[in-house]
Amino acid sequence: MPKNLAVKIPEGASFEDASCATVGSIALQGIRQCDLRLGENACVMGLGLLGLLAVQMLKASGIRRVAKWLSILVLMMQFLPGLKQPVEPFQKGMGWMRC
């Protein structure tokens, strides 16, 4: 493994907590690349692990959010923190929601 891809786990952090850091940094990098400012709008395509993390980060940043889910399974997760009711009725496994 290259040295620039290895990070020492801080004292007191568990392996489980440390393993989430990379996934969170991927979502954060996507948001940074968009160069969004307070009061702007963002659309998150897909509400898998990265999409859900991105929604939470955008919410914390004061960005207005809308998300497109691509799977019926996500419909069952719509009550996770930061998510609201679907904007349009569920059709063919895909739909939009304000989040």
pLDDT of residue 76: 55
The predicted-structure confidence for 7-63, as pLDDT tens digits, reads as follows: 888 899 898 888 888 888 899 999 999 999 888 999 998 878 899 899 999 999 999
For the segment 74-94, the average pLDDT, to the nearest whole number, is 53
Of 15-24, 64-73, 88-97, which range is least confident? 88-97
SS3 4: helix
Angstrom CA distances, 18 to 1, 6, 60, 66, 68, stand at 17, 12, 21, 29, 29
**Reported pTM:** 0.66
| CA 51/CA 68 separation, integer angstroms | 9
